[in-house]
Amino acid sequence: MTLTTKIDPTSVFLVSGGAKGITAKCTIKLAQQHPCKFILIGRSEILDKEPDWAKDCLDEAVLKKSIMEYLLSLGEKPLPINVQKLYNKIISNREIKQTLQAIQQAGGHAQYLSVDVTNADDLKHKLAAIVERTGPITGIIHGAGNLADKLIEKKTEQDFEKVYTAKVKGLENLLSCIKPSQLEYLVLFSSVTGFYGNIGQTDYAIANEILNKSAHLVKQRYPECHVVAINWGGWESGMVTPQLKKEFARRGIDILPVEVGTQMLVNELHTANQGTAQVVIGSPMAPPPAPLNPELQTYRIRRKLSLEANPFLLDHVIAGKPVLPATCAVSWIVSSCEQLYPGYRFFNYTDFKVLKGINFNENLANEYIVDLKETSKTDSQEIIFQAKIWSKTPDGKINYHFSIDRVQLVQELPTPSTYESLNLAQDNIITITGRDFYQETTASLFPLFHGHSFQEVTRVLNISPEKITTECIWHGITDQQQGQFPVRWLNPYSIDLSTHPLWIWMQHFHQEICLPAGIQKYEQYAETPTNTPFYVSCEVKAKTATSVVADFIVHGAQGQIYSRLLGGKGVIIPTQSLRSNS
């Protein structure tokens, strides 16, 4: 299906900040796909003719040398600030003319208007004259903006006004010059900073969040207008300096390629996106971690649980009772640790034990408690916790449900290695595929009781008495289904899925089943893909009459390791107990 827009050759877009930077590149891309009329406004003045001393000076060093010689010829000292001022004027003029030329070459028509968007009277007067030639303005792209990044205690009133007025007062002035009722498009260039926040950018966050809310308000009042506030992340050019780009990379923040971002703008103007008033295009702006308090802390976190709040539990029923997966208990602990220390990320845990588990039946406790105890921490490196989940019975008896001896958070994850024993060859010993592993009709072969939330093993690639290799895919479930156990860095659902190969191995060779009892060590290097195949190599380390121990390596097709679950212990149970009363 071809997506359409209301843009035609008679459409007129007023673009603030549109002659330079990212907004200019977006406008050029729009003109290439929808050639129409553009009025570009900015504070910079455009020169009819470039000075002779600047001609053919394309290199920065050459141009600055020519500027210095020009100032000396006037009897002025070539102070760096004066040289830079003239340099910026020449470069700005060239960029404006290049933008106008690129729009013309794309088949559009562009005019530049030197005006400050924060000056309402001047804006209204100059726009009135130009509109007589172009016709009524049918769209606004508000891309003007300023930065004055500083910690809040160092910001001045002038800093705030500079940042705030360009965004907020600028929008107010634009909408006072053009009646919203005549607009077909209102596109506001906002920022992920307004959505997530960012250190040193309180004023920028406020201004952009006002743009976000303004988009929703305009959309409510003028539903026929295509309104969208685009919360852009950092671009490869524009306001993102090389230093800032390096910092983004260190913090795991993706940078948006210009070609990709500009096309995303065009896509947002398709009629299919008419109902979306706000969109985020970029990574969360996670703040850098604060310095650690050297004193070791303890924490107690209380939570009420219910079956109604966690629909996924209906896909994890054992012997007729919904049971909390061990992987959800782990994610509960890990997420609690991570939320205490923003900027630190979970890497591994050791010695996880299932003590009593949690069954969602009539005996569900009033509340469950996570106790976290810091055992060591090193600033900018790692934090180590001990953890337990417990509850009290009505008569005051304590039940311990799960424990982890050591949870490690780090600032930077180590580089993962490649799985050396990779073997994705197919031996065709087990030919069942996909959700047939989970069907009642095949229960006698492979009794995987897990419902949709925890499926699926796609196929068994190969199997031997020592190892089983499977292809898996987790299709994702809604936030509502995840309930109190949302997917974050740790995905309890795909981790549970990653242990299913052991069930298949057990049934194939021993006609037995097992339930998790503990894990010696788990480490995570990357998120397991969603809606994309991944592979689990399950190496069986020991098998007795009552238990089994295995290592699970979760990896990609080339052997890149996403995570490793080492020393996973399962307790063998009678087959008939799995589905009794279910």
- Of all residues in the chain, the percent with pLDDT exceeding 70 is 93
Are 231 and 372 part of one and the same domain?
A: no
pLDDT of residue 380: 83
Average pLDDT over residues 314-318: 90
Structure confidence by residue, pLDDT tens digits, 523-552: 999 999 999 999 999 999 999 999 999 999
Q: What is the spatial distance between Cα 378 and Cα 380, in angstroms, rounded to a whole number?
A: 6
Q: What is the spatial distance between Cα 90 and Cα 92, in angstroms, rounded to a whole number?
A: 5
Q: DSSP assignment, residue 394?
A: T
Kindly state whether residue 455 falls inside one of the protein's structural domains: yes
Are 217 and 244 part of one and the same domain?
A: yes
The DSSP string of 261-311 is HHHHHHHHTSGGGTT--EEEES---PPPPPPPPSS--EEEEEE---STT-G
Are 305 and 385 part of one and the same domain?
A: yes
pLDDT of residue 448: 67
Q: Which domain holds residue 24?
A: 12-46+109-281
pLDDT of residue 343: 84
- DSSP-H helix ranges across 341-453: none
Are 254 and 115 part of one and the same domain?
A: yes
User: CB atoms < 10 A from the CB of 335, how many?
Assistant: 19
Q: With 90 as the cut, is the pLDDT of residue 501 above it?
A: yes
Are 356 and 307 part of one and the same domain?
A: yes
Average pLDDT over residues 429-456: 75
Kindly state whether residue 5 falls inside one of the protein's structural domains: no
pLDDT of residue 253: 72
Are 128 and 243 part of one and the same domain?
A: yes
Contact 360, 324 (CB under 8 A): yes
- Count Cβ atoms within 10 A of the Cβ of residue 425 and give its class: 0-12 exposed, 13-18 middle, 19 or more buried: exposed
The CATH number of the domain where 136 resides is what? 3.40.50.720
Q: Of the candidates 229, 247, 281, which is a domain's last residue? A: 281
How confident is residue 269, by pLDDT bands cut at 50, 70 and 90?
very high
Are 304 and 385 part of one and the same domain?
A: yes
Average pLDDT over residues 440-448: 53
**Whole-number mean pLDDT of the chain?**
91
Q: What is the spatial distance between Cα 503 and Cα 512, in angstroms, rounded to a whole number?
A: 8
Kindly state whether residue 145 falls inside one of the protein's structural domains: yes
Mean pLDDT lowest for which of 41-55, 135-149, 276-290? 276-290
Strand partners, 139: 13, 185
Our count of domains for the chain comes to 3
E strand or H helix at 568: strand 561-573
List of residues 6+ apart from 328 with CB closer than 8 A? 485, 492
Q: With 70 as the cut, is the pLDDT of residue 220 above it?
A: yes
E strand or H helix at 576: helix 575-579
Dihedral sign (CA 237, 243, 247, 252): positive
How confident is residue 450, by pLDDT bands cut at 50, 70 and 90?
confident
Strand partners, 263: none
Q: What is the spatial distance between Cα 405 and Cα 401, in angstroms, rounded to a whole number?
A: 14
Q: With 50 as the cut, is the pLDDT of residue 348 above it?
A: yes
Average pLDDT over residues 492-521: 93
pLDDT of residue 361: 83
The CATH number of the domain where 489 resides is what? 3.10.129.120
Are 358 and 476 part of one and the same domain?
A: no
| Angle made by CA atoms 559, 564, 566, in degrees to the nearest 5 | 130
pLDDT of residue 24: 95
Packing angle, helices 170-177 and 120-134, rounded to 10: 40
List of residues 6+ apart from 403 with CB closer than 8 A? 351, 352, 353, 355, 386, 387, 388, 389
Q: With 50 as the cut, is the pLDDT of residue 580 above it?
A: no
Are 377 and 472 part of one and the same domain?
A: no
Q: With 60 as the cut, is the pLDDT of residue 83 above it?
A: yes
pLDDT of residue 64: 93
Q: With 80 as the cut, is the pLDDT of residue 237 above it?
A: no
- Count Cβ atoms within 10 A of the Cβ of residue 168 and give its class: 0-12 exposed, 13-18 middle, 19 or more buried: middle
Kindly state whether residue 77 falls inside one of the protein's structural domains: no
Structure confidence by residue, pLDDT tens digits, 33-77: 999 999 999 999 888 889 999 988 999 999 999 999 999 999 999
List of residues 6+ apart from 129 with CB closer than 8 A? none
Kindly state whether residue 94 falls inside one of the protein's structural domains: no
Structure confidence by residue, pLDDT tens digits, 106-121: 999 999 999 999 999 9
Q: DSSP assignment, residue 433?
A: B
Q: Of the candidates 251, 281, 311, which is a domain's last residue? A: 281
Are 277 and 307 part of one and the same domain?
A: no
pLDDT of residue 283: 77
How confident is residue 568, by pLDDT bands cut at 50, 70 and 90?
very high
Kindly state whether residue 313 falls inside one of the protein's structural domains: yes
Q: With 70 as the cut, is the pLDDT of residue 140 above it?
A: yes
Kindly state whether residue 398 falls inside one of the protein's structural domains: yes
- Of all residues in the chain, the percent with pLDDT exceeding 90 is 77
Contact 389, 337 (CB under 8 A): no
- DSSP-H helix ranges across 137-289: 157-164, 170-177, 192-196, 202-221, 242-250, 258-268
Q: What is the spatial distance between Cα 505 and Cα 519, in angstroms, rounded to a whole number?
A: 18
The CATH number of the domain where 355 resides is what? 3.10.129.10
* 3-state DSSP of 531-559: CCCEEEEEEEEEECCCEEEEEEEEECCCC
How confident is residue 240, by pLDDT bands cut at 50, 70 and 90?
low
Kindly state whether residue 33 falls inside one of the protein's structural domains: yes
Are 315 and 402 part of one and the same domain?
A: yes
Structure tokens at 385: 């916790």
Average pLDDT over residues 6-15: 96
Q: With 70 as the cut, is the pLDDT of residue 250 above it?
A: no
Average pLDDT over residues 463-467: 97
Q: Of the candidates 410, 445, 469, which is a domain's last residue? A: 410
Q: With 60 as the cut, is the pLDDT of residue 444 above it?
A: no
User: CB atoms < 10 A from the CB of 420, how many?
Assistant: 7
Are 546 and 507 part of one and the same domain?
A: yes
pLDDT of residue 581: 36
